[in-house]
Amino acid sequence: MKILHWLDRHIEEVFLVLFSAVMVAVIFLQVVMRQFDSSLSWSEELARYSFIWLVYIGISYGVKKDRHIKVDVLLLVLKNKGKIILTIIANLLFIVFAIFVIRYGTDIAMQLLSFGQKSPANQIPMGLIYLAAPVGMGLTLIRLLQNLIKHIKALKHEMQVDKELEKLG
């Protein structure tokens, strides 16, 4: 149970640090090698694929920390219950999108894995690169469901507070 709790709190951070470190190290190595009039054929490809995974895992991290860019003009106008309802609707729409990406992204990745296509320089199976979308959106879906549960509980609490205020008034 302790491991699951730790993973819930840190899984995105571990992957983000890992892919960032790989990307920075490989790009740094490429820059150093160019100073010696030599070039690495595989470095840009590995950095690019690390960046792709970084982006998709970053989506999940943004949802977890509630740091995504959003238009919050409506949120400024609405009261507490309205804000929660609007957030729930937005999360439901995002869940539909995440499920779409997971389904079709997995189909594409599995198809590429079955074809055996590999990247030119590193010979990485391209299906593994394309798995970034469904894996990242899978993590995002988990975070969206966690947020949805939290917001539904908050909405129930707001409704209970409203009932209590009605009784007093």
The domain limits of the chain are 2-168
Length of the chain in terms of residues written: 169
Reported as a single tens digit per residue, the pLDDT across 7-38 is 999 999 999 999 999 999 999 999 999 999 99
* Three-class DSSP category at 118: strand
- In this predicted structure, the answer to whether residue 169 has a pLDDT above a threshold of 70 is no
Reported as a single tens digit per residue, the pLDDT across 37-95 is 998 999 999 999 999 999 999 999 999 998 887 767 777 888 888 899 999 999 999 99
Look up residue 106 and give its amino acid.
T
> What letters, b where the CB count within 10 A reaches 16 and e where it falls short, cover 138-164?
bbbbbbbeebbeebeebbeebeeeeee
Q: How many of the other CB atoms lie within 10 Å of CB of 59?
A: 20
Task: State the chain's mean pLDDT as an integer.
Answer: 93
Place of tokens 């982006």: 55
> What letters, b where the CB count within 10 A reaches 16 and e where it falls short, cover 88-109?
bebbeebbeebeebbeebbeeb
Euclidean distance between CA atoms 143 and 146, whole angstroms:
5
User: Long-range pairs for 149-152 at CB < 8 Å and ≥24 separation?
Assistant: 151/84, 151/87, 151/88, 151/91, 152/88
